[in-house]
Amino acid sequence: MYKITLLVLFTGLLWPCEAQENNTFLSDFNDNPTWTESYNGVWKSVVNQPQEVNLLNTSGSSPREEDLAKIEGSKFPLEKTEIKAFSKNGKTYIRLPLEDGERIFGLGLNFKTVEQRGRIMRLHMDHYGGKDNGRTHAPTPFFVSTSGYGLLINSAKYIDVYMGTGVTKDSKSPATSRDRNTDKKWTAQPKSDNIEIIIPDDGVELILFAGKNIQETVQRFNLYCGGGFIPPKWGLGFWQRTPTLYGEKEVQEEVDSFVKNNFPIDVVGLEPGWHSKSYPCTFEWDKTRFPNPKPFVESMAKQGIHLNSWINPYVSPSSSIYEKIKPFTATHTVWTGIVPDFLVPEAHKIMTDQFEKNVVSLGISGLKIDEVDGFDRWLWPDYAQFPSGLDGETMRSIYGTLTQKWSADMYRKQNTRTYGLVRAGNVGSVSLPYVIYNDYYKHEDFITALINSSFAGVLWTPEVRSSGSSEDWIRRMQSVCFSPMAMINAWADGTKPWSYPEVYEYCQDVAFLRMQLLPYIYTAFSEYYFKGIPPFRAMAMEEGFTNIPEIIEQGDLNSTDNPYVAALKKEIKNQYMMGESMLVAPMFAGQKTRTVVLPKGKWYDFYTGELIGNGGIITASHGLDKIPLYVKDGAIIPMMKQIRNTSEWGNDTTLEVRVYGNQPNEFVLYDDDGKSYDYEEGSYTQKVLKTTVQKGKLKGSVSKITERETWSYGIINWNFMTK
């Protein structure tokens, strides 16, 4: 045996190989994809023969043509001959150029990094496991470059990305070869001048977006993928998810305790215990915990409370639909539950009927769709087969989107908006009203994920569960109140906002501040819908952070006085923008101070209206009572009174419009009925809040630009914060 092995090895070594001149990897890269402009600044290319199913065509979304047309056109942002592609042996290879100094953002919902140059990733749907290796809840195959473009790889396969790591021998701008023995500048990762992408398929559809800056590129990407959405108003209020085994009585007590403790609440989340069995689920009420579901839901509604129900879509053998749906499910099970194939009309209908009967018709406002991401050892394997003909890998990449779409459609059918939670999303779900969450619990990393969600076409909540200290608790509560969903997820521990009495007052302050800011936040979501601008977004989308020529204009790049040097050299992964003009800089347990990098221009303290800096880096030293918040010069921030429930945000709500700095400005305030999809048909109101200089002082005025359809506001009080 030993001898035979040696012989094989030996013969193998000597086997003569003829060099194949025309068959090398590098010469295959001579093909240039053909690009066709589909919309202003958006080009598409189909390389060879991709599989029919992709991330976008399974999602039911289509490009927002009219809104894309409103963004000024642009020329093709790259040298076409520099983009190469070819397919061979079931794989498709793409190569793009990478300039010195070019910066790359995106590649999914990462938790530790914002800049992606120099990384190797396999984009793979999964529960985030602590490393930015491509396995995450939204492994979106989209990146945006400071070279004025973004690329979407519309494939539902696991995609390998070498983001500036591969160094080829035919490089146009080769790395300097150095002697490691003597040269201190030797590096294990020499410069790469390319981006290489490998798709395990016979072809791929590519979409390339131009943009005069990062934000514009992202806008085009979002609008192309269906555009953002506007949540129902109640969805932006405060959420409390209750412990798993809570029943009607405990949920009512929970709501009463929020009233008694004077804390905002709009939504209560029911966790697995509402099902008669869960993991896998029956999607049928447990009669011991919920003897009268319909009257219970109605009584909650009378108190202004919307209910959200947890599910995973895996059907329990005890469910009444089990036998009926079985032929339309996957070869493999998840926790013994059968896995519906939502692409097969029969499975889609059986699930719809079950949910319309037991959930939607009762008045439950939406779902929390759990466990549709991973882990490998729980989910179906990649070789599983689905009745629609899809393999496990493709289905895993789109399952989150399919379940979002299936559930959102039940609400759309009755012209009611929903807002829910999900653990998996992708480019197909940009327009679907869901927020991603997970079980990972690092506060700092939650903020980095919030930043990255703005490049990934998804929303993210840094949900709050428990805490090791009251300091950690209040810092987390402050962050979550400045996110798409302000939520405590107490499913395991029953934590309440007042569980840490020392800081309860500060919890109340920040929760009420969120409620006051809802007119501003709601308007930010309207910009997501109309223009594709993420309501919570990375600093890289602000001018002055990525635009290198402008940064150089600020002064010498080598000077320590130039604040943007830091922004360029270090990733900004702990501060972000909310809406048009507010910068949020969360603080974390253990911090007494933190630095904040201000984009160029004057910035003001949100709480006091004081000038805080003109570009540059500042130090925030807010005590536990406040989260650092800054606003741009000229910012106009519409706010309302402190409310506990969004049902109080109704007719003739008095507005307090805060104005910061001295720049005249305009803010287009958005409003609609807050609950139906009529806004998509033009049923909404926008009014311009405008400041002008009169006799050396700023004055405010309001003018309407659309007919009054719905308008919640009455008297407007202007508050000029900067004295």
Binding site residues, ligand GAL, CB under 6 A? 244, 271-272, 310, 370-371, 439, 489, 491
Neighbours of 593 (CB within 10 A): 10
Helices within 214-309 (DSSP H only): 214-224, 248-260, 293-302
C-alpha to C-alpha distance for 443 and 475, rounded to whole angstroms? 9
Q: Which is nearer to ligand GAL, 137 or 348 (CB)?
A: 137
As beta bridge partners, residue 39 has 42
| Phi, psi angle pair for 194, to nearest 5° | -150, 160
Q: Which is nearer to ligand GAL, 159 or 464 (CB)?
A: 464
Q: How far is the CB of 489 from ligand GAL (least distance, A)?
A: 5
Q: How many whole angstroms from its chain centre is CA 162?
A: 23
Q: How far is the CB of 437 from ligand GAL (least distance, A)?
A: 6
Q: Which is nearer to ligand GAL, 97 or 462 (CB)?
A: 462
Q: How far is the CB of 310 from ligand GAL (least distance, A)?
A: 5
- Residue 588: name the closest of 573, 602, 601, 600 by CA: 573
Q: How far is the CB of 374 from ligand GAL (least distance, A)?
A: 11
Find the helix packing angle between 392-413 and 345-355, rounded to 10°: 50
Q: Which is nearer to ligand GAL, 115 or 371 (CB)?
A: 371
DSSP count for the chain of H helices, then E strands: 15, 34
Helices within 305-361 (DSSP H only): 322-325, 345-355
- Residue 565: name the closest of 593, 541, 544, 590 by CA: 544
Amino acid letter, 398? I
Q: Which is nearer to ligand GAL, 274 or 506 (CB)?
A: 274
C-alpha to C-alpha distance for 614 and 544, rounded to whole angstroms? 12
Neighbours of 662 (CB within 10 A): 18
Strand order in 697-704's β-sheet?
665-671, 685-694, 697-704
Q: Which is nearer to ligand GAL, 379 or 578 (CB)?
A: 379
Q: How far is the CB of 333 from ligand GAL (least distance, A)?
A: 17
Q: How far is the CB of 424 from ligand GAL (least distance, A)?
A: 12
| Phi, psi angle pair for 435, to nearest 5° | -120, 135
Q: Which is nearer to ligand GAL, 310 or 342 (CB)?
A: 310
Amino acid letter, 51? Q
Q: How far is the CB of 445 from ligand GAL (least distance, A)?
A: 16
Q: Which is nearer to ligand GAL, 322 or 378 (CB)?
A: 378
Please, are residues 426 and 138 in contact by the beta-carbon 8 Å criterion?
yes
Q: Which is nearer to ligand GAL, 353 or 439 (CB)?
A: 439
Q: Which is nearer to ligand GAL, 145 or 308 (CB)?
A: 308
C-alpha to C-alpha distance for 269 and 272, rounded to whole angstroms? 10
Residue 383: exposure state from Cβ atoms within 10 A (0-12, 13-18, ≥19): exposed
Which two structure tokens, joined as six digits, stand for 149?
Answer: 């473009």
Q: How far is CA 350 from CA 313, 355, 357, in A?
A: 12, 9, 11
Strand order in 36-39's β-sheet?
36-39, 42-48, 203-210, 149-153, 142-145, 104-106
Q: How far is the CB of 262 from ligand GAL (least distance, A)?
A: 27
Q: Which is nearer to ligand GAL, 229 or 310 (CB)?
A: 310
Q: How far is the CB of 134 from ligand GAL (least distance, A)?
A: 21
Q: How far is the CB of 427 from ligand GAL (least distance, A)?
A: 23
Q: How far is the CB of 157 from ligand GAL (least distance, A)?
A: 26
C-alpha to C-alpha distance for 536 and 222, rounded to whole angstroms? 14
Neighbours of 14 (CB within 10 A): 6
Q: How far is the CB of 409 from ligand GAL (least distance, A)?
A: 23
- HEC string for 551-568: HHHCCCCCCCCCHHHHHH
